[in-house]
């Protein structure tokens, strides 16, 4: 018992100090009015102020589109990765890992060089006498930016799943007379689907929580839930920490629910298998 306590003490202390206590305080603060009494005023503001609902809509739109597109590319990419030689696989996984840690300020800056007002893309469009069609600081530009870290992340999550699929299954089913389409629908799809759902929830949650890339790319001109929270914490005169706590509480609750549901889909499948 004593050693057990010693083993868990550092981690336990860390979790209490910088996770449990702050999150508890944050939830309590979200229910406090300006004079400190209990109220739902903050929550009312979140749903009734147009600027705030716009942040929620933007976040949902960018995250949904970015995670769906990235998921599709990641499925194709992870499949392609399983067909390569083992040594190449390891190297590529490290490269995908690296490119997902390039997210944030460096990514935003690179995209501005590429697609910004004085960037190469615009120069190319002008040279070819084509109209300016694409604005990197916009909703669609931000969505594009998200795919640069969501795709590698999706591949890293999906690759182990695809790698586990047994090639013998295909032989067996074709010996038994199954057509490739039937095999895909009845064997591969049911095995892989729960994992795809889980990866989708993770990509979606990751996009919803993205602050650095959005902020570095658009400043505060495009408002999403994370950049709004950033302004509410950091904004000098307009700072309103209790309201930031309300947004953060809502965010944590919804994301925990979504990720938990995504996890359950695969968990129940695993239990059936066992």
Partner 1 sequence: MSPKASTRVARGIIAFLFVYLATPIVVTMIYSFSTSWVKTILPNGLTLKWYSELVASPEFMAVLLRSFCLGLLTTLIAMACFLPVVFYANVYNPKVKSHLRFITVLPFTIPGIILVTGLIQLYAELPIPKIIILVLAISLLSLPLTYQALDNAFIGRDFRAMFEQALVLGDSPFKAFVKVIIPNIRAGVLVAMLLTFTSAFGEYVLTNLLLGGNFETLKIYMYRLMRSNGQASSVLTTIYFIFLAFISLILILIMQHYSAPHKSTKEGAKK
- Of residues 79 and 191, the one with the C-beta less far from partner 1: 79
Burial 232-264 (b: 16+ CB within 10 A, else e): beeeeeeeeebbbbbbbbbbeeebeebbeebee
Return d(Cα 148, Cα 260) in angstroms, integer.
25
Interacting residue with partner 1 among 206, 218, 222, 223 (CB under 8 A):
206
Closest CA to 112 of 216, 3, 224, 263: 216
Interacting residue with partner 1 among 65, 192, 196, 202 (CB under 8 A):
202
Closest CA to 22 of 233, 171, 169, 165: 233
Interface characters, 253-272, with partner 1 (x: CB under 8 A): --xx--x---x---------
Q: Which of residues 13-32 bind partner 1 (CB under 8 A)?
A: 14-15, 17-19, 21-23, 25-26, 29
According to the binding rule CB under 8 A, does residue 34 interact with partner 1? no
Instruction: Tell me how many degrees the CA angle 192-259-111 measures, rounded to the nearest 5.
Output: 85
Q: Which of residues 105-164 bind partner 1 (CB under 8 A)?
A: 105-114, 118, 120, 122-124, 126-127, 148, 151-152
Q: Which of residues 234-253 bind partner 1 (CB under 8 A)?
A: 234, 241-242, 244-245, 247-248, 251-252
According to the binding rule CB under 8 A, does residue 65 interact with partner 1? no
Q: How far, in Å, are 7, 112, 151 from residue 69 at the CA level?
A: 43, 21, 8
Interacting residue with partner 1 among 34, 80, 172, 193 (CB under 8 A):
80
Could you tell me the smallest distance in angstroms from the CB atom of residue 206 to partner 1? Answer: 6
- Of residues 47 and 124, the one with the C-beta less far from partner 1: 124
Whether the Cβ atoms of residue 143 and residue 66 lie closer than 8 Å to each other: yes
Q: Which of residues 209-228 bind partner 1 (CB under 8 A)?
A: 209-212, 216, 226
- Of residues 45 and 122, the one with the C-beta less far from partner 1: 122
Q: Which of residues 35-64 bind partner 1 (CB under 8 A)?
A: none
Interacting residue with partner 1 among 33, 39, 53, 90 (CB under 8 A):
90
CA contacts within 13 A on the Cβ side of 164: 8
Q: How far, in Å, are 26, 29, 32, 233 from residue 240 at the CA level?
A: 13, 11, 12, 6
User: Hey, what are 104's tokens?
Assistant: 């944030």
According to the binding rule CB under 8 A, does residue 184 interact with partner 1? no
């Amino acid at each position: 018992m004593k050693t057990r306590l010693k083993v868990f003490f550092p981690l336990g202390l860390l979790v209490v100090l910088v996770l449990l206590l702050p999150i508890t305080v944050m939830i309590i603060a979200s229910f406090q009015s300006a004079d400190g009494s209990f109220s739902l005023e903050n929550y009312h503001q979140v749903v009734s102020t147009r600027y705030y609902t716009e942040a929620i809509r933007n976040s949902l739109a960018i995250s949904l589109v970015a995670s769906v597109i990235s998921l599709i590319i990641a499925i194709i990419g992870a499949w392609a990765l399983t067909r390569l030689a083992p040594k190449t696989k390891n190297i590529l996984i490290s490269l995908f890992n690296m490119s997902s840690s390039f997210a944030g300020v460096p990514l935003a800056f690179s995209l501005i060089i590429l697609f910004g007002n004085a960037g190469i893309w615009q120069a190319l469009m002008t040279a070819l006498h084509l109209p300016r069609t694409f604005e990197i600081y916009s909703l669609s530009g931000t969505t594009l930016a998200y795919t640069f870290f969501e795709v590698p992340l999706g591949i890293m999550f999906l690759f182990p799943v695809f790698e586990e699929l047994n090639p013998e299954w295909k032989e067996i089913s074709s010996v038994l007379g199954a057509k490739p389409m039937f095999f895909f629908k009845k064997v591969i799809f049911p095995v892989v689907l729960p994992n795809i759902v889980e990866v989708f929830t993770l990509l979606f949650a990751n996009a919803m929580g993205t602050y650095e890339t959005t902020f570095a790319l658009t400043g505060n001109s495009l408002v999403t839930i994370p950049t709004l929270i950033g302004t509410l914490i950091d904004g000098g005169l307009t700072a309103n920490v209790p309201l930031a706590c309300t947004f953060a509480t809502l965010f944590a609750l919804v994301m925990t629910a979504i990720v938990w549901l995504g996890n359950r889909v695969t968990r129940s499948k695993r239990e059936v298998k066992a």
